Every structure is written in C-alpha cells, then in structure tokens.
Structure 1
Amino acid sequence: MAENVAEAIRDAALRLAETSDTARLDAEVLMAHALGVTRSQLLLGRMRDPAPAVFAALVDRRAAHEPVAYIIGKAEFYGLELDVTPATLIPRGDTETLIEAAREVLADRLPARILDLGTGTGALLLAALSLWPEAEGVAIDRSPDTLAVAQANADRHAPAARLLVADWTQPDWSADLGRFDLILTNPPYVEDEAPLDASVRAYEPAGALFSGPEGLDDYRILVPQLPGLLAPGGVAMVEIGWRQAEAVVKIGVQAGLRARVHRDLGGRDRVVAFSGTNVEGA
C-alpha cells in the first residue's frame, strides 16, 4: 500500500482503469468513504494523510466489478443522498428524465397524489416530493427487503410517504390505492440475454432488471392497468430502454392511452408519458 492518500489514490486509479471508465473518480470516492469525509474535503485537505488500511479492501471489491454505490452504501439522485444495498437498483442519472418530464407536463398544476411503482430506493417518489412536498406520496415494491431501504430513505427525506408491499403481476394488487395525478415507474425492461457490464449483471438485482426476451413483459402487464390508476387529467411517466419507444407506445395506445415520448440528455428516447387517447410525437 502506498504511503499517503495521494499515492494510494494514484495507484488505485491505475489498477481500476482495467475495469472502470471512471477509475480516478472511483478511487477518490472510495478513499473519501474510507476516511469518513466528503470527496471535497478529501481533495482540499487530506491528500497528504496516511492512507487508511481499509482502503485496499475497498479497491479489491471495485476491481472485482462491484459497483461503488454498493461498496459505500450510498448514491445520489436528483440532489438527494440515498441509501442503496444489493436489494435495490442503483439510481441513475438517466432516470431523472422522468422527473424533468413530469415538471414539464405538470408546469401549470400541482399533483395532489403521486404513485411510484417498483420504487427500489424510493428515488422517484422522493425526488417528486422534493418538488411537490404537499402531495400525498405512495410507493409500492414487491420485495420487502427493497422496501426497507426505501423506507429508510423516506424517513430521512419525506416521512409522510406511504410505502407498501405490492406486486403488479398479482390480482387486485391496486384495489385500495385509488387514483393518482402523477404515476412514476422505472420497471424492469432489459432483455433476458442482453449484454451487460459485469458490475450490473453480477451485482444488481435481476428481478428489477430483466423482463423477458424483448424486455417488454412488465410493460405488457403494467401499462394496461394505468387507466385504472390515473385520476382525470393525470399522467404516468414510464421509463423505457432507448429502443423500446415504439413498442411501449403501441401497448399504451391499445389500452386507450395517449403517449408522448421524452428524450434524455443524450438525445435517446427515455420516457413515455401516458395520459388519454391518440399519439403525440416527441
């Protein structure tokens, strides 16, 4: 192990370059975690400190493709720090497109009730409630272990949110939920045999990733149920894979919904906003 923090980060970044496109950043984040400080505090005042012994084990885990978020137990989404565990997907920046699309669609009105389907860490619901704190927030997930993580995050960011174990593939799962002005969901949509980075396929929960040979199985189940969950004038923001827009829009139209596609910052189709009938282009 190198003698001081700066040297340890340098050596770790060289090693991690074989498995990570963000090797230097990974090394800095892991070192900050090992020291119990923020990355800014690390860079501004701790680079000459002795390197902590625990850092080597953290680097070993990252070198084995384990995601940094699982190693440190934290991830940021829409400005919120969230707990993450292997029971949850790691929130990603592309998913923030759902929140931005909702802000655009709801620019002239406030949602009274918000529903997050398959909440994971609670990221979508908590981000929405940070914008509309007076709204009633409800989230579901089929995994009690996942919901426990979401509950811890809700306790910190939106204590009034209501989190429930429910599974949209089961009969009558939504019987007591009522209707919502805004529905947010990032359902499983990866093809079963899709090539994925080892850090995703080996570590993130398969049940939250994969959805049949075309990645469409959950859309076929969930989207036709949206009309019964939407309040008059309500909108559902559904995340999609960037090549799935046409197929998901078709599922919604067959269910009597209007669809509009929103793109992420990279210009890729990322969200379908469902509301009434007919189809409006992106």
Structure 2
Amino acid sequence: MTASEGATIGLAIRHLAMLLERAGIDAPLRESRLIAAHVLQLPPARLTLSEHEPMGDAMMAALLSAAAPRLERRPLSHILGRRAFFKNEFIVNSDVLDPRPETEALVLAALAPPWSTVLDLGTGSGAILLSLLAERRGARGMGTDLSPAALRVAEANAERLEVSARATFGLSDWFSAVTGRFDLIVSNPPYIAEAEMAGLAPELSFEPRMALTDGADGLGAYRAICAGARAHLVPGGWLMMEIGWRQSEAVTALAAEAGLRDVSVLPDLDGRDRIVTTRA
C-alpha cells in the first residue's frame, strides 16, 4: 500500500492489522493502532479523528518498519519502548521482563498491610518496587537483580516516576548482597520449569531467559527466597511472591519448611492462584 494508492491513516491501520492477524497476533487492530500512534506521534485517542488524513509513502514505510519486529513476534512493548503497569508507564526493553497484568495482584496484595521499607528481589524493570513506592509516599525500598542492564532500566524508571530519592538498586543473587531487614519483601522470580520453556508464546523468546526460568523445576528461586527471608525481615514482616498458577502447593510447603507463618494464597484477576503471602 502506498500514498499513490490513496492510502489514508485509517486504511494503513487496517492494512497493518491484517498483517498482524496473519502473524498470529491476538488483538491485531488494537496493536496496529498503538504502533500507528507511536509512529505518527499521536495520542491513540486522536487516531479516530485523523483516519481520513493521507498517509504519505515515507510515513507508510516508517509504519511498516516499526511493525516488522512485531510481525516476528517481538513483544509490542519493545517497539513502543514502554508498558503500562498498575498506575504508571514503565520503560521496557529486551533487558527486562515485560510486566504482566497478573503481576498487579502482587502490588495490590503488598499495599494491604502497613510497611515503610521494602525489598524487591529480581526487580527487573522495577515495576513492582516503584509502583509500591509511588503509592507509599513515605516509604523507602531496594531492588536487586543479577543483571546490570536490568538495573539500569529500573533506575531510569525510578527517575521517570520521581522516586529515585527513595529507591536504591544493587547487583545481587537473591540475598547474597543484601544487608539489613525490611518490613516487606516482594518478588516475581523466574518460575517456569525448563521443561515448559519450549511451549511458551513466541514473544517470550525475546525476553531475558534468566527472568523466566531457573533452568530446572521452576522452584529454585522460591527455595532461596524462603530460606533467606527470615534473616532479612523484621519480626512480623511480610514476604509476598508471585507464583505460577499450579505452584501454590509446592511454594506454600517451602515457606512452611523455612519457618514462615500465616501462609496463604491469593488469586489474580482471572481467579488463578498467583500470590503466596507469609510472615516472619
């Protein structure tokens, strides 16, 4: 499709949606509109008002170029450079896990009890930690990760949300470089078993492998976190972890074995087991 064929913004969006649908994208029209808004530098809501405007050849080429990675199933957030999560937008790239809507259940659970200090293990983009600090204006927190590149993204997001003064970040293998105790520890660790990796959506192949799997049974991170939690929580402090929806029995058993108490499981918005909460 070219401008000489009478292309308009609306026709270009529908043409791209057709290509996305052929590539197996679940919501092709929605994603086409988001990519078009990104390329045209327009708010998505403005696209409807601009649908009948002509789409020049250069802009059409830019649109198809921007969409090319998505047609190869690279995550949409990598094209847009951002992802909406909880109440904010976060910088996202291939160095960090793309924040998922189900992880918002962990943020909601963590906002229920009182706390003033929080540790986020495996922080990635910082979406969990920074969402919590944005809601608790007097709180302070630390995010750790094994990836220096991920920590740079988290630091950029802290600046974006204007919470840098209350957030610190450190390179750490779970608790290895963590000192002190916290009121709350949160984590969305790699919980996909190695045997399950081959069956995942194509988009996940573009995300950091270390953020997805432990290379074994998917429970390695929980063993480390549960074992070290009591030494890094204040008495009565909370540990909250996202889990795979079939892992609640295994993870609650690990928490109990580690001497943690008040172990419970909370669902995500789809009603699936998603969060294990427990206390020191």
Counterpart position of 1:24:
29
For residues 27 and 156 of structure 2, what CA distance do their matches in structure 1 show? Answer: 29
Q: CA deviation at 1:164?
A: 1.2
The alignment status of 1:146 with 2:154, answered yes or no, reads no
Structure 2: distance between partners of 1:119 and 1:185: 7
Residue identity matched to 2:37: A
Q: Structure 1 residue aligned with 2:235, among 211, 232, 236?
A: 232
5+ residue gaps, structure 1:
277-282
**1:115 CA displacement:** 1.0
Amino acid at match of 1:245: S
Residue number in structure 1 paired with 2:184: 182
How far does the alpha carbon of each residue in 1:204-249 deviate from its partner, in whole angstroms, 9 at most, with x for none? 1101001233211111122211111111221111000000000000
**1:146-181 deviation line (CA, Å, top 9, x unaligned):** 100000000121121111111127xx422x2x1111
Query: Structure 1 residue 85 and structure 2 residue 93: aligned?
Result: yes
| Residues 65-108 of structure 1, C-alpha deviations (whole Å, 9 max, x = no match) | 0111001111011111110110000001000000111223x1xx
Contact kept in structure 1, 2:121 and 2:188, CA below 8 Å: yes
- Within-5 A mapping of 1:118-133: 118-133=122-137
* Whole-angstrom CA distance in 2 between matches of 1:12 and 1:215: 37
**Does 2:267 align with 1:263?**
yes
**What runs of 5+ residues in structure 2 fail to find an aligned partner?**
none
Question: In 2, Cα distance between the equivalents of 1:196 and 1:38?
Answer: 32
Q: 1:79 is matched by which residue type in structure 2?
A: K
Contact 2:144 2:174 in 1 (8 A): no
Deviation at 1:21, TM superposition (A): 0.6
- SS of the equivalent of 2:194 reads coil
TM-score using structure 1 length: 0.91
Cα distance in 2 for partners of 1:273, 1:66 equals 33
Distance in 1 (alpha carbons) for counterparts of 2:216 and 2:169: 30
* C-alpha distance in 2 between matches for 1:212 and 1:251: 19
Q: Is 1:155 the counterpart of 2:163 in the alignment?
A: no
For the residue of structure 2 that corresponds to 1:37, the secondary structure is coil
Paired residue total: 266
4+ aligned runs moved over 3 Å, structure 1: none
1:246 counterpart residue number? 249
Partner of 2:83: 75
State the AA in 1 paired with 2:28: A
What residue in structure 2 maps to residue 101 of structure 1?
Answer: 109
Correspondence for 1:222: 225
Residue 46 of structure 1 aligns with which residue? 50
Give yes or no for the alignment of 1:112 onto 2:116: yes
Structure 1 residue 58 and structure 2 residue 66: aligned?
A: yes
Given residue 194 of structure 2, which amino acid in structure 1 is its aligned partner?
D
The separation in 2 between residues aligned to 1:207 and 1:236, in whole angstroms, is: 22
Check whether the contact 2:190–2:214 (CA below 8 A) recurs between aligned residues. yes
Contact map agreement 2:145 2:172 (CA 8 A) in 1: yes
1:173 and 1:165 mapped to 2: Cα distance?
Answer: 7
2:21 maps to a residue whose letter is A
Letter in 2 for 1:250: A
Partner of 1:280: none
Q: Aligned-pair distance for 1:20?
A: 0.7
